[in-house]
Amino acid sequence: MIQNHEIDYKIYGEEMQYVEVELDPNESAIAEPGAFMMMEDGIQMETLFGDGSGAQSGFLGKLMNAGKRLLVGENLFMTAFTNTSGGIKTVSFASPYPGKIIPLDLSRFQNKIICQKDAFLCAAKGVSVGIEFQRKLGTGLFGGEGFIMEKLEGDGMAFLHACGHVVQRQLQAGDLLKIDTGCIVGFTSGVQYDIQFIGGIKNSIFGGEGLFFATLRGPGTVWIQTLPISRLAGRILQYATTSRREEGSMLGGIGNILDGDGWR
């Protein structure tokens, strides 16, 4: 078994967070392209094909491992940050949208976490970043965001990012939680994941919540976000493509004047 690098960390901020990772000499952290924020002198960057965990040996193994990452919408390459100096150095990674960063010690969760495909931010080098297929037919056809998910394996630290506020729920054996697929950040390997039809013609046509939701059955731990990034993007797009002068008739027009829109 590959030993993950041991790293210390500190999370800064409230709504727009970043995580500062402390690296001892020769220690490394890996991150998705675009997650890097800043680092101290003495840290060397290296682009890796795949996740650099060594879980797949040889060129074909690395190619298959990297190819799986394309299925979850991630980059073929990752970036490793290694402390090449003789002292302790820090490197920081930032979340790409408002929300929270979730630190996870994988050794406390049976060395495996399953998460949404865009939730991974960074990890200690040695953590394997792969894919997790949901095998049931219904899940595959209707799972949406939850069909193909990422899995993080190893015994080191990994960091996820989520949009909005994050709730951690502990499910006992047999406990069932019904949840919007986009609100799932991640869950431990013991949790059973499936898709359920909402039912009812009025719910289907007028409910506004979609036709399906996810079911999570314990035992295990679940991390939930209050604002899926797809929902946030949809609201921003709706706002950007709608004329503000139609909001609230006369009152909307007064509001536009007060905030300066009426003077253009």
- Write the DSSP assignment of the chain as a string of letters: -PPPPP-EEEEE-SSS-EEEEEE-TT-EEEE-TT-EEEE-TTEEEEEEES-SS-SS-HHHHHHHHHHHHHHTT--SEEEEEEE-SSS-EEEEEE-SSSEEEEEEEGGGTTTEEEE-TT-EEEEETT-EEEEEE--SHHHHHH-GGGSEEEEEESSSEEEEEEES-EEEEEEPTT-EEEE-GGGEEEEETTSEEEEEE---HHHHHHSSS-SEEEEEESSEEEEEESS-HHHHHHHHHHHHTS-GGGTTHHHHHHHHHHTTGGG-
pLDDT number for residue 168: 97
The tens-digit pLDDT sequence of the chain (264 residues) is 456 778 899 999 988 899 999 999 999 999 988 899 999 999 999 998 776 676 555 566 666 666 666 665 666 788 999 999 999 999 999 988 889 999 999 999 999 999 988 899 999 999 998 888 765 544 444 444 446 788 999 999 999 999 999 999 999 999 999 998 889 999 999 999 888 877 654 555 544 455 678 899 999 999 999 988 777 777 778 777 765 554 444 445 544 544 444 444
What does pTM read for this prediction? 0.80
pLDDT number for residue 67: 62
Spell out the residues 6+ positions from residue 144 whose beta carbon is closer than 8 angstroms to its own. 181, 182, 210, 212
pLDDT number for residue 63: 63
Sign of the CA dihedral running 208, 211, 213, 215: positive
CA-CA distance, 93 to 38, in Å (whole number)? 7
Taking every pair of C-alpha atoms in the chain, what is the biggest distance, in angstroms?
68
User: Hey, where are the domains in the chain?
Assistant: 8-242
CA-CA distance, 191 to 187, in Å (whole number)? 7
pLDDT number for residue 178: 92
Amino acid at the residue 90: T
Sheet holding 176-179, edge to edge: 176-179, 212-217, 192-197
pLDDT number for residue 237: 80
pLDDT number for residue 104: 97
CA-CA distance, 131 to 43, in Å (whole number)? 29
State CA 76 to chain mean position distance.
Answer: 17
Using alpha carbons only, how large is the chain's radius of gyration in Å?
21
Contact, 161 vs 123, CB < 8 A?
A: no
CATH of 8-242, one of 3.60.160.10, 3.40.50.300, 3.40.50.620, 2.40.50.100: 3.60.160.10
Six-digit token string for 86 = 């003789």
pLDDT number for residue 76: 73
Six-digit token string for 240 = 């950007």
